[in-house]
Amino acid sequence: MDYVLNVEPRAHTGSHVKQVRAQGMVPGVIYGQGKDAAPIQFKEIDLVRLLRQGAASQLLQLNGLGKNPRFVLLREVQRHPTRRSLLHADFYEVQMGVVISTEVPVHFQGESLALKAGAVLIHHLDAIEIECLPREIPESLVADLGKLETVDDVIKVSDLPIPEGVTLLQNPDDIVVSLAISRKLAEGEAFEEEEEGGVVEPELLSTREEEEEE
């Protein structure tokens, strides 16, 4: 999927960016290795729409700064602390033939037998650091939840299918997701163990109450 953002050069900088926002625009800057920073502005709704489509970690094509488009990665977005509106955005310009490092999100597919049985999914990593050419940045890396058959199973970075042309920078042994026993499931198992043993110990309850009183 191509992500295109229409921008224009920005004349107001520093304390004068309020004038940019008053016009319904968001100030931003493009920078890159060996290049001077270029102030730009764009419509807030245009970038918001791209972010909703998953463009935060993808290659962006900026139009409106000359005859040829400029290709960038979104490096930082500043938002208003309460209204959450966009205040500023930083874009890093890439060279299409030069390998870059970036992060891509993890998406999940498949059904886990352990989750169906009542286990709880614990997220350790939401994004994975990779290295590749700008055009080869994947939309996401996919974790197959079907591998989680018991509560002791985990999915590591090394378990994720890696597209051709992409190199992992993340530690392969890092855990992406793991499982934990839910409180409801744990209480159910404890109850089953008591029934199987045929042991009912009401005196333990009274002992616990006495300890709590002490």
pLDDT of residue 83 exceeding 60, the answer is yes
Could you give the count of Cα atoms lying within 13 Å of 56 in the half-sphere of its Cβ? 12
Q: What pLDDT score was predicted for residue 126?
A: 95
pLDDT tens for each residue of 21-79: 888 899 999 998 777 899 999 999 999 999 999 999 999 999 999 999 999 999 999 99
> What span, in angstroms and rounded, lies between the C-alpha atoms of 27 and 77?
11
pLDDT of residue 201 exceeding 50, the answer is no
Question: Are the C-beta atoms of 55 and 77 separated by less than 8 Å?
Answer: no
Is residue 162 classed as helix, strand or coil in its secondary structure? coil
Q: What is the mean pLDDT of residues 174-203?
A: 65
pLDDT of residue 121 exceeding 70, the answer is yes
Q: What is the mean pLDDT of residues 159-183?
A: 94
> What span, in angstroms and rounded, lies between the C-alpha atoms of 205 and 202?
5
Identify the band that residue 129 occupies on the pLDDT scale cut at 50, 70 and 90. Answer: very high
Q: Which domains does the chain have, with CATH numbers?
A: 3-94 (2.40.240.10), 101-186 (2.170.120.20)
Q: Give Dmax (Cα) for the chain.
A: 84
> What span, in angstroms and rounded, lies between the C-alpha atoms of 40 and 65?
9
Token pair in block for residue 166: 């992409």
pLDDT tens for each residue of 101-117: 999 999 999 999 999 98
Q: Among 114-118, 127-131, 143-147, 198-202, which stretch is predicted with the lowest mean pLDDT? A: 198-202
Q: What pLDDT score was predicted for residue 197?
A: 54
pLDDT averaged over every residue in the chain: 87
> What span, in angstroms and rounded, lies between the C-alpha atoms of 143 and 30?
33
pLDDT top residue among 205 and 62: 62
Closest CA to 125 of 164, 91, 169, 84: 169
Question: Are the C-beta atoms of 136 and 149 separated by less than 8 Å?
Answer: no
